[in-house]
Copies of this chain bind each other. A is one copy, B any other.
């Protein structure tokens, strides 16, 4: 937990000086130190300085990175990491031109993962997710939000939340738990959508809050899923229990979901592929983080969220993977940077800020993680590159050389 890292070619601090996030032109300011060193004590960043001046204390492990680049660990603020089953056959069907509807009729879609997840034991779910989380660490992600939402019954949702909390206790990664019971309507409530909303409000939310199983509540607010009224019901009920809202908003259609999130101080509204200029105006006057999910657009060949407009409007923008088996089978934040730069007109600097500090803000954790500053958790990743821009530039490979989590050099 005590560690001295030196000869850092570029220490990309993303320093915010106490600010929760960066907006607008600040997103391009990475505050890079060249030829830097880093002193970590008890898993916390203690000193940052020039490698010629800052020297290791006695009796401390020293890592000489020989001019490599160090970034804060990525904060992946939107994932669905706990699930069973795999949907490569649907991927193939989509490549053949099958529509989502045809795939759903053939037994695919969210409900296919729901079935596999309901059938899986806690132990199996734990092991599957543990392996994924470890690989995410290996690719530079040190803080990960996980949503439930493939159970869709009180029993199965609680099973998933318990697995998430077991992993949160056990795993090296910093985990954040979100309840997404409102991910889809389960078959049991196919003809009684409001009945499922009531089940969430009157049974699941109090149960979760009492046992402290989740910090956030999320709703898939979309046509054919949860409408504005149902979403608001869930948000309001969640708030009475102290859960903080997040929203899946404006992915497939635009009807005010992001604005609803802003109205209720959602910590983030996520997706935003269909975000309108009017909604951007509303978000501008809120505290809500706009989280874009490049993998979902890439994977489904859908339009990308208007990231450029969002940043230019001064709204804090975060990037996350949306890792899930249906619409974004990817947990590498490195390739998210590449997609953001090549497809979404973001600069490497903006993409890195969005994937670190602003991701932390989307989880209410930017006082602890997301940048390399004195007093923060020592979650830092060493990349085998000479320039931070090389990470999004050379894509399709893992540039991570070493991952340091809470001051511990991880061995994989």
Residues of B within 8 A of A343 (CB): 298, 301
| Minimum CB distance partner of A87 in chain B | B393
Cα(A112)–Cα(B334), bound, Å: 26
Once the chains bind, are A342 and B298 in contact (CB under 8 Å)? yes
Q: Are A95 and B329 in contact (CB under 8 A)?
A: no
Q: Does A91 contact B (CB under 8 A)?
A: yes
Given contacts A95-B346, A387-B88, A389-B89, are A330 and B394 in contact (CB under 8 A)? yes
Within 8 A of B (CB), among A312-356: 329-332, 334-335, 341-343, 345-349
A398 proximal to B (CB < 8 A): yes
Number of copies: 2
A88 contact set on B, CB distance < 8 A: 348, 387, 389-390, 393-394
Is A86 a contact of B390 with CB atoms below 8 Å?
Answer: yes
Contact B332 A396 (CB under 8 A): yes
Does A106 sit within 8 A of B, measured CB to CB?
Answer: no
A97 at the interface (CB under 8 A from B): yes
CB neighbors of B among A343-402 (8 A): 343, 345-349, 386-387, 389-390, 392-398
- Which residues of B have CB within 8 Å of A397? 135, 139, 330-332, 398
Name A349's closest neighbour in chain B (CB-CB). Answer: B92
Q: Are B398 and A398 interface neighbours, CB within 8 A?
A: yes
Determine the distance from Cα of A387 to Cα of B88 in the docked complex, in whole angstroms. Answer: 8
Instruction: Indicate which residue in B95, B330, B394 contacts A341 across the interface (CB closer than 8 Å).
Output: B95
Q: Give the contacting residue for A329; candidates B96, B349, B395; CB below 8 A.
A: B395
Distance in angstroms from A28 CB to nearest chain B CB is 9
Closest-by-CB residue of B relative to A391 is B88
Query: Contacts A301-B343, A342-B301, A387-B86: A329 and B91 contacting too (C-beta < 8 A)?
Result: no
A95: B residues at CB distance < 8 A? 341-342, 345-348
Neighbouring B residues of A100 by C-beta, 8 Å: none
Knowing A301-B342, A345-B95, A348-B91 are in contact, say whether A329-B393 is a contact too (CB < 8 A).
yes
For the complex, is A189 an interface residue (Cβ under 8 Å from B)?
no
Q: Give bound CA distance, A86 to B295, whole Å.
A: 26
Asked whether A203 is an interface residue with its Cβ less than 8 Å from the other chain, the reply is no
One digit per residue, 1 when the CB lies within 8 angstroms of any chain B CB and 0 when it does not, for chain A 268-302 equals 00000000000000000000000000010011110
B341 touches A91 (CB 8 A): yes
- Which residues on the B side are within 8 Å of A395 (C-beta)? 299, 329-330, 332, 335
Structural contact, A396 and B345, CB atoms closer than 8 A: no
Chain B residues near A394: list those with CB within 8 A: 88, 329-330
- Nearest chain-B residue to A297 (Cβ)? B342
Closest Cβ–Cβ distance, residue A133 to chain B (whole Å)? 13
Closest chain B residue to A139, Cβ basis? B397
In the complex the two chains form, what is the Cα distance from A400 to B274 in whole Å?
37
In the complex, the chain B residue whose C-beta lies closest to that of A387 is B88
Query: Would you give 29 A-B contacts (Cβ < 8 Å), ordered by A?
Result: A86-B386, A86-B393, A88-B348, A88-B393, A88-B394, A91-B348, A91-B389, A91-B392, A92-B348, A95-B342, A95-B346, A95-B347, A135-B397, A139-B397, A298-B342, A298-B343, A299-B342, A300-B342, A301-B343, A329-B393, A329-B395, A330-B395, A331-B396, A331-B397, A332-B396, A332-B397, A334-B396, A397-B398, A398-B398
A residues with CB within 8 A of B = 86-89, 91-92, 95-97, 135, 139, 295, 298-301, 329-332, 334-335, 341-343, 345-349, 386-387, 389-390, 392-398
**Given A335-B335, A335-B396, 9 more pairs with CB closer than 8 A:** A88-B389, A91-B348, A95-B341, A95-B346, A95-B348, A135-B397, A330-B395, A330-B397, A331-B397
The 10 closest A-B pairs by CB, nearest first: A332-B396, A88-B389, A88-B393, A335-B396, A91-B393, A95-B341, A330-B396, A329-B394, A88-B390, A95-B347
